[in-house]
Amino acid sequence: MFEFFDRGQATPNRVQVTGPNRWDWVLLPLVLALLGAAAYGAMQMARPFVLGQPTPIALDIGELPYYLLRTTLRMFMALGCSLLFSFVFAAVAAKSRAAEKVLIPLLDILQSVPILGFQAIAIAPFIALFPGSLLGVECAAIFAIFTSQAWNMAFSLYQSMRTVPAELNEAAQVFCLSGWQRFWRLELPYAMPALLWNMMMSMSGGWFFLVAAEAISVAGQDIKLPGIGAYIAVAIEQENGRAVAWAIVAMFAGIVLYDQLFFRPLLAWADKFRFEESQGDTGQRSWLLDWVHRGRWTREAGNRFWALMRSALGWFGGTGKRRSLPDPRSTPMRRALPRMWDALLAAGAFYAALRLVTYIHADVGWAEAGHVFLLGLATLVRVMLLIGLASLVWVPIAVWIGLRPRYSQRVQAVAQFLAAFPVNLLFPIVVYVLVTYRLNPNIWLSPLMVFGTQWYILFNVVAGASTIPTELRLASDNLRLTGWLKWKRVYLPAVFPAYVTGAITASGGSWNASIVAEYVTWGKTTLVAHGLGSYIKQMTDAGDFHRIALGIGVMCIFVMILNRFFWRRLYELAGNRSQ
């Protein structure tokens, strides 16, 4: 656990063999193909572009591999940015109580802002930053995908850092680790299994909102970037069911590829950081990682990489000496600082509330604000009912999967595909069923809100269940715990922190998904459910920025209140149980 960057380091006095073996020759074409594809896709991102110029998207099947390459490249760029953001955010929020009071509510706000809200704000600055180049629009799309990936990763890492077991914290103090060393050698390794599952969920979340990210429609501007999302948007506009089916096939192929080439090796590698004394039977396997270990050049490249990382991170290491921290109660000024900070935050909140009241009174009116508030209540009821139903279904299934690694690996790609499945692809079926049987859209469009976000619960609980120590499971068997008693005493307490993390992100994602689920269009047929999501979607299409801001603001208020008085209480309970 404490040697996160020592793994794979070469043994000092062994004989180094420089020649490649057959595994190196097998891996070489794969590595060259991936590098060549990434370079080609990156070059296409910087093509000339003029605002207002049409960007045609062909529904030819032969274009799908190229579109899949462009989409996958954007998603991995956004994933890298999300990972860096998570490192900084979680480290600051977990280690500073003052910063935590600002960052966690800010995270609640950010995850509740719909992707259309970020896009409406970001598209113009990015285009202005790269005039005459498609790179500006590409950056706007990557930023939009980033906003669908980063928040749950940041909260997962923050939650893991806050729930590091007490015995590991004591060991870190004994070894006199600095804050920097503590993060890289203890906190990040401990959080790695859950973080990787959330990275997979983030990639799936990127697919879910891909149509909105690649088919940009803001204030009359219609820009479509080459990619699967734009392909789906054009297929929906033309009511081309055949093209939708081929898009599903291409999406599934892409998910399987990056699962086998990226996530499966990472999960197998991260399994060594599970917190238990015995390995048990929960090890992940990866054929690609096995090949890398067998290859002579690839193994040596890995050794050099980890040695370089260890050396680079050592530049910022501690002195190895125990330092006595000053007592915050030692002076009156130190005792007054937390109260001064709380007073400053209260003043900031009061000022924001005053500005909101002034904005409503001057620009949109109180009648419109009351109408939007009622729409928010309707969406709130849908979100809470759907999260409750999803929890009842997926928590038992996720625990069962997490405790059985052979099934976990089999369902991993399938779960990623289901989580990534854009709800827009269900529009033909949904419209046909609701119109044919004259069903109420206010009721039957609601399941679309949780279709893509319920998987946050599944992935997080699977990650939590897979880290249950084998010793604890064996002890429960020795005590003959069975049935509900075993769930109550062992499984549910063990996965409760992971469940709360998944439920919070699923709740925020459901609010975000309401802009897609409450306003369904297939060709010339449109079904609308009364709610906050459909309101924001209609105002975005109309380019009414005052009412867009009102809808986003009301959604942020609802999510913050829900998180503060419901989910945060559960999270505090989870943190207390983990100590």
Per-residue exposure over 561-573, b if at least 16 CB sit within 10 Å of its own CB, e if not: ebbeeebbebbee
Question: What DSSP letter does each residue of 123-139 carry, written as one string?
Answer: HHHHHHHSTTBTHHHHH
Q: For residue 262, is pLDDT > 50? A: yes
Whether residue 137 lies inside any domain: the answer is yes
Whether residue 495 lies inside any domain: the answer is yes
For 36-58, what is each residue's pLDDT tens digit? 999 999 899 888 887 777 778 88
How would you class 464 by CB atoms within 10 Å of its CB: exposed for 0-12, middle for 13-18, buried for 19 or more?
buried
Whether residue 404 lies inside any domain: the answer is yes
* pLDDT tier for residue 10 given thresholds of 50, 70 and 90: very low
* pLDDT tier for residue 73 given thresholds of 50, 70 and 90: very high
Contacts of residue 492, defined as CB under 8 A and 6 or more positions apart, other chains included, come to: none
Cα angle: 183, vertex 563, 519; to 5 degrees: 115
Whether residue 569 lies inside any domain: the answer is yes
Predicted local confidence at residue 108, as pLDDT: 75
* pLDDT tier for residue 575 given thresholds of 50, 70 and 90: low
Distance, CA of 563 to chain centre: 18
Whether residue 528 lies inside any domain: the answer is yes
Q: Which one, of 575, 380, 552, lies nearest residue 497 by Cα?
A: 575
Whether residue 3 lies inside any domain: the answer is no
Predicted local confidence at residue 15, as pLDDT: 46
What is the phi/psi pair of residue 285, to 5°?
-125, 150
Whether residue 5 lies inside any domain: the answer is no
Contacts of residue 318, defined as CB under 8 A and 6 or more positions apart, other chains included, come to: 176, 177, 178, 179, 180, 181
What is the pLDDT averaged over residues 103-126? 76
Q: For residue 12, is pLDDT > 70? A: no
* pLDDT tier for residue 7 given thresholds of 50, 70 and 90: very low
Q: Report the alpha-carbon distance of residue 266 to residue 571 in Å, rounded.
A: 28
User: Which has the higher per-residue pLDDT, 278 or 403?
Assistant: 403
Predicted local confidence at residue 452, as pLDDT: 74
Q: For residue 87, is pLDDT > 90? A: yes
Predicted local confidence at residue 160, as pLDDT: 86
What dihedral angle (degrees, nearest 10) is formed by the CA atoms of 250, 460, 157, 267? -60
Predicted local confidence at residue 334, as pLDDT: 65
Both structure tokens of 436: 């044919």
Q: Report the alpha-carbon distance of residue 365 to residue 403 in Å, rounded.
A: 54
For 416-425, what is each residue's pLDDT tens digit? 777 777 766 7
Both structure tokens of 412: 């991993």
* pLDDT tier for residue 159 given thresholds of 50, 70 and 90: confident
- The residue range of the domain holding 190 is 62-272+359-578
Whether residue 314 lies inside any domain: the answer is no
Predicted local confidence at residue 333, as pLDDT: 64
User: Residue 77: which CATH number?
Assistant: 1.10.3720.10
Among 77-91, 118-132, 508-522, the range of highest mean pLDDT = 77-91
How would you class 56 by CB atoms within 10 Å of its CB: exposed for 0-12, middle for 13-18, buried for 19 or more?
exposed
Comparing 400-409, 474-483, 486-495, which segment has the lowest mean pLDDT? 400-409
Q: For residue 450, is pLDDT > 80? A: yes
For 278-287, what is each residue's pLDDT tens digit? 444 545 678 8
User: Which has the higher per-residue pLDDT, 275 or 398?
Assistant: 398
User: Which has the higher per-residue pLDDT, 492 or 14?
Assistant: 492
Question: Global pTM?
Answer: 0.77
For 287-338, what is each residue's pLDDT tens digit? 888 888 888 888 888 788 777 877 766 644 444 455 444 555 556 666 677 7
The interaxial angle of helices 332-359 and 97-112, nearest 10 deg, is 20
Predicted local confidence at residue 274, as pLDDT: 67
> Please, are residues 454 and 446 in contact by the beta-carbon 8 Å criterion?
no
Kindly report the average pLDDT of the chain as a whole number. 81
Tell me the one-letter amino acid at 299. Answer: R
Count of domains forming the chain: 1
